[in-house]
A and B are shown apart, each in its own frame.
Chain A
Amino acid sequence: MPHTTTISRMTTTGAPPRLSTLAQWADRHFKWLLVAPAVLLILALSIYPLLFSLVVSFINYDFQVPGHAFVGLKNFERVVFDPVARWSLLLTACLSSISVAIEFVLGLLVALTMVRSFPGRGVVMSILIVPLFISPVIVGQAWTLLLQRPFGPTNYILTQLLGQEVTIGWMTERPWLYVSLIIADVWQWTPFMFVVLLAGLTAIPPNLYEAAELDGVNAWQAFWAITLPHLGSMMLLALTFRLLDAIRMFDTIFIMTGGGPGTQTYTASYYLYTVGFTQFHLSQATAGSWLFLIFTALVVTLLVRRLLKVEPV
């Protein structure tokens, strides 16, 4: 290819002789030039805001209190000694681990039914993955339509099935509101587990099962001795990815319960959102989000670092 076309492709302004040195320079630093736009954008919109919020968390930045005085650790103290904050962190841990556990078991079961082909498998597959492409807001809305009294048909269906009057306040009574939130999460994200675990299952060489069968190994033993060990790294990956998303839980709560009744369905994200954007204690919210960030970072370094080593290259 002629060299001149290269030059005109790489830059559009300036005189030709200087361009060729510029082109040479660009060619030499090619790998950094490719990385630069993305890195700069992430620095500007992720790292800079994080540093900025670190500053904000040590000063007074509150729409209700004027001035930006340095207040030391006061914002952090406010979060740490707020019983609602501790409650929301506990609820986040409980809700996310219960949801992810159910999704994992259900996803594994469904994946096992889908390993081998059967008529209509393609259609079933397409239906099963649909929840992954729906906004969590809409998932929350859909379950609200099903569960909310007196509009939703769920209590009526349960009444018919159980043969006795069912009047559960799915969005207002403990523990049912937690059940509702978990159902919505399970509905949306079981397909994630299913898809990832199915990829793991199909990667297991079938001749292992054939050999096991010849040795007279029963199905249950084969599952423990072949399926589980081969699926190990995939399970870890699926659980990690899901857990890191589950602890952000916000959208379905926003739509389904609005954090209520009272503060009963405050998760960490919902708590910080309320502190920052409905009470306008912005510095307290940033301090809290830094604490939450540190919790998440611990989980990330523990789980994801390990994953990077397991992952096939």
Chain B
Amino acid sequence: MAAVAPARRRKRRSVPIGRMLLLGFFLVFVLWPLYWMFNTSIKPSDDYLTVPPVWFPAEPTLVHYKAALFAYRGLDGLINSLIISLSATVLSALLGTLMAYSLARYNTGGQHLSFWVLSQRFLPPIGIVLPVFLIYRGVGLYDTHIGLIIAYTVFTLPVSVWMMFAYFRGMPKSMEEAALVDGCTRWEAFWRVAVPLAAPGIVAAAVFAFIACWTEFFFALILTSRTAFTLPTVFRSFIGFQGAQYGEAAALAIVSLVPSIALGVLAQRHLVRGLTLGAVRG
């Protein structure tokens, strides 16, 4: 970090060694757990406890994947996760866009309303989930797909609203104003003019809502049990078995992280906005 200015003085192609070393170490730190998990997932159980450890299995196997998906109901979890995350994402992006547009263009409710929505993002889930659990049991939403979809929609709304809020504020008003002058209703100005223009922002907001739902554990742990359980909650089955299920756990982890990582890396241009709820433009 001390080399900010001197590096500029040198030729552009020279690379400061200390800096690259730090980056290299950090890259290894990031990749090593992922590699070891992948390695574990294709390793025969006989290779688990050898000294030295097996760095790459001589005979890779897919048995753990099969067991994780079928014997441990990983496939059911995967399907549930897809249904619930996709539905909640669509709802959240839709409602979030509606609200964000109103906040950005009409300043609805002033700062209070937007801050109120933002504050929802910072509520500790434990404070919400206990009463929601009681209410869900009362109205029959406990352990249902719809119950978790509603919960996830609310839980991702602050992110959707704030990302779209920032996006609409960054968009010129002139097109919508022209449409209004031409006799469009406000709805038409919104739906036919603003929404198509904001499509990239909506997609980005939806991607982050999806990742949030896909990786969520706490709500799913408490609000579901044997029917609507999502992929992350399947990992409960692997706790406390002292080694026997390592391969299955690793296999399921690999299956589950592929979609969210793929989406996240594809949408990385919007990452800063996604992480800071639109407060910072990346």
Contacts and interface: CB of A to CB of B under 8 A. Distances in A.
Contacts of B113: 35, 39
B272 A35 contact: no
A82 interface: no
A250 B218 CA distance: 8
Q: How large is the interface on B (under 10, 10 to 19, 20 to 34, 35 or more residues)?
A: 35 or more
A224 B239 CA distance: 48
Given A37-B98, A156-B51, A142 B130 contact: no
Contact of A34 (B26, B102, B243, B271): B102
Given A277-B222, A296-B124, A141 B279 contact: no
A292 interface: yes
A187 B182 CA distance: 54
B96 A38 contact: yes
B6 interface: yes
Nearest to A32: B108
A146 interface: yes
A49 B132 contact: yes
Given A151-B49, A311-B279, A128 B26 contact: yes
Contact of A258 (B7, B53, B240): B240
B134 interface: yes
Contacts of B238: 141
A145 B246 contact: yes
Which of B37, B101, B115, B280 has its CB near the most chain A CB atoms (within 10 A)? B280
Interface in B1-26: 1-9, 15, 19-20, 22-23, 26
A145 B40 contact: yes
A3 B63 CA distance: 63
B261 interface: yes
B58 interface: no
Majority SS at the chain B contact face: helix
Contacts of A248: 124-126
Given A277-B222, A282-B134, A223 B4 contact: yes
Q: How large is the interface on A (under 10, 10 to 19, 20 to 34, 35 or more residues)?
A: 35 or more
A200 B279 CA distance: 12
Given A45-B154, A125-B268, A151 B132 contact: no
Interface in A254-305: 254-255, 258, 268-269, 272-273, 276-277, 282, 285-286, 289-290, 292-293, 296, 300, 304-305
Contacts of A272: 126, 130
B154 A136 contact: no
B265 interface: yes
A112 B282 contact: no
A129 B157 contact: no
A134 B259 CA distance: 10
B132 A196 contact: no
A41 B3 contact: no
Contacts of A293: 123-124, 127
Interface in B98-136: 98-99, 101-103, 105-106, 108-109, 111, 113, 115, 117-120, 122-128, 130-132, 134-135
Contacts, number: 310
A269 B23 contact: no
Contacts of A113: 19-20, 22-23
Nearest to B103: A35
A256 B49 CA distance: 19
A166 interface: no
A272 B238 CA distance: 23
B9 A213 contact: yes
A223 B7 CA distance: 13
B253 A187 contact: no
B279 A129 contact: no
A141 B37 contact: yes
Contacts of B157: 38, 41-42
Contact of B253 (A61, A141, A313): A141
Nearest to B6: A219
Contacts of A129: 264-265, 268, 271
A138 interface: yes
B19 to A, nearest CB: 5
8 contacts: A30-B106, A38-B98, A135-B216, A213-B9, A220-B2, A237-B280, A273-B126, A304-B119
Q: Which 10 A-B pairs have the closest CB atoms?
A: A133-B264, A135-B215, A49-B131, A31-B106, A53-B131, A34-B102, A38-B99, A153-B53, A142-B33, A289-B127
Given A53-B131, A130-B30, A222-B4, 18 more contacts: A9-B191, A31-B105, A31-B108, A45-B132, A52-B131, A112-B1, A112-B4, A141-B235, A143-B33, A151-B48, A156-B51, A217-B5, A218-B5, A241-B276, A251-B232, A273-B126, A293-B127, A313-B169
